[in-house]
Structure 1
Amino acid sequence: MMSGIRQRYLDVLGSIYLYNEHRGYTAIDRVLQAVRARSPDDLDLIRAIEQHRRDERKHYVMFRRWFELRGVMPLALDRRFGHIDRFVELVFGRTIDRLDTQAVIDRDDLFERLCRVISLTEQRGYRQVEALLANRFVRSDPVLMRIFRVIRQDEPSHWAPYEGWLARRRARPYRRRERWTDTFIHSELLFLKLPVLFLNPFKRRRTDWPDAADAQSATGSAAPAGPIAPGTAMER
């Protein structure tokens, strides 16, 4: 029984991370569009965000390979399980796909708000990975442990460019509502959505991979997702 619980927990956890990593790097494409339009000469910021995008893509590929090694497809999840999806919806009042990129480009207050949302999301992700590295189910899976160690190493550089931009602009500090929203989304996922998903035996699995329809982009081309060779693709 314990083995079945462990496998189900890891299945749910991996599916949530796969969705969020894919959503992360595709959403960053919108951020890059805004930054390149607003600050085309700020090459350091653009390069940092491009690296963020590449890392998110790399993390997605690692989770995809983890599922391929297990011989199963991830659970079919939607934006209800995405941290950045929920954050944007609650702060901007619309989904990521309906976010007005031109308005974010034109208005400093909206771009500042977006930077705070991304930074808080990445900091939350770092704290969650720290907790998962101590989780006994996660620790029982060496491949998954390597994935989360890579993510832990990468995460601090992900919120740094947005924090730096806000500091240079002397932007207003995080609003209490933004921090409360971050906490609410995390609690909602951890204590409500994850248990419901765990206990739902009828949840269908995906029939394709989230990146199947991705367009190739200059900031991060699609990497092949073949089997994992020990000590190679999972480690920097």
Structure 2
Amino acid sequence: MNSWYRRRYLDLLGSIYIYNEHRGYTAIDRILDAVRMRWPEDAALIARIEKHRADERKHYMMFRRWFERRGVRPLAVDRTCGHIDRFVGIMFRSKIDDLDPQQIIGRDDLFERMCRVISLTEKRGHRQVEILLRHPIVRADTTLTKIFRIIEQDEPSHWAPYDDWLREHGGRQASWWERAIDHLIHSELLFLKLPLLFLRPGLARVRTWPDEGDTHRRSQDAVSLVASA
């Protein structure tokens, strides 16, 4: 029973993380394209967002290799388990894929809102990783522990460019109600959705890896895949 519980917990944990990492870097791709068009001269901002994107892709690939070594694919969780999906849906009343990046980047008030959403999501992720690194089931898996250590080190540079942009352009930082929404989304996943998924016996695994359908695949991704083979 303990062995089954441990496998199920890690399966769900890895599946939720790989989903969120994939949604993260594919969403940043669209924002990054828009930032390059509006502020092509702001090389520092572009470089910092590019690093954020590259880290999210790196994290995704680490989880993918973790699953591949175990000989299984992730469980088929959907956007109801995606923190950024839920946050964007509430704050913009739209799915991520339906947002127009040009509209977001073209209006300072909308871009400020997006910066706050991304910043809060990244800070929430950092706090959650710190908790997971103390979890006995996670600590028993040395590879997964190493993955979370890397994420823990990377995360602070992820919210920094968005917080800095808000300060430099006179935008406000996150309000109490935006923080409350972030907390609500996290609590909903932790105390409602995760237990329901845990007890759902017929939860299938994905047939294809999420990145197989990427439309913004970068050439360096292909190079890194060959190098890691």
Q: TM-score, normalised by structure 2?
A: 0.95
Q: Does the 8 Å CA contact 1:64/1:225 hold for their aligned counterparts?
A: no
Q: Does the 8 Å CA contact 2:112/2:171 hold for their aligned counterparts?
A: yes
SS of equivalent to 2:183: helix
The code of the aligned residue for 1:99 comes to L
Partner Cα separation in structure 2 for residue 88 and residue 220 of structure 1: 28
Partner Cα separation in structure 2 for residue 46 and residue 226 of structure 1: 26
The code of the aligned residue for 1:224 comes to L
After the TM superposition, which residues 57-136 of structure 1 pair with which residues of structure 2 at under 5 Å, given as runs?
57-136=57-136
SS of equivalent to 1:94: coil
Q: Does the 8 Å CA contact 1:122/1:155 hold for their aligned counterparts?
A: yes
Partner Cα separation in structure 1 for residue 220 and residue 163 of structure 2: 23
Matched, 1:31 2:31: yes
Q: Percent identity?
A: 61
SS of equivalent to 1:16: helix
Q: Which runs of 5+ in 2 are unaligned?
A: none
The code of the aligned residue for 2:152 comes to R
SS of equivalent to 2:225: coil
SS of equivalent to 1:221: helix
Matched, 1:172 2:165: no
Q: Does the 8 Å CA contact 1:73/1:206 hold for their aligned counterparts?
A: yes
| 1:186-230 Cα distance to aligned partner (Å, 9 max, x none) | 0000000111111111011101100012235458534428989xx
Partner Cα separation in structure 2 for residue 57 and residue 127 of structure 1: 20
Instruction: Sort the Cα spacing of 1:112 and 1:220 in 2 relative to 1 into closer, same or farther, 3 A.
Output: farther
Matched, 1:11 2:11: yes
Matched, 1:53 2:53: yes
| 1:109-167 Cα distance to aligned partner (Å, 9 max, x none) | 00000000000000000000000000010011000000000000100000011111111
Aligned-pair distance for 1:2?
A: 0.7
Partner of 1:187: 187
Q: Does the 8 Å CA contact 1:54/1:219 hold for their aligned counterparts?
A: no
User: How many residues are aligned here?
Assistant: 228
> Runs of at least 4 residues of structure 1 off by over 6 A?
225-228
The code of the aligned residue for 1:77 comes to V
Partner Cα separation in structure 1 for residue 126 and residue 203 of structure 2: 28
* Higher RCO (Cα < 8 Å, 6 or more apart): 1
Report which of the two has the higher share of helix: 2
Give the aligned CA root-mean-square deviation in angstroms.
1.6
Aligned-pair distance for 1:177?
A: 2.2
Partner of 1:233: none
Partner Cα separation in structure 1 for residue 84 and residue 109 of structure 2: 19
Aligned-pair distance for 1:35?
A: 1.3
Aligned-pair distance for 1:86?
A: 0.5
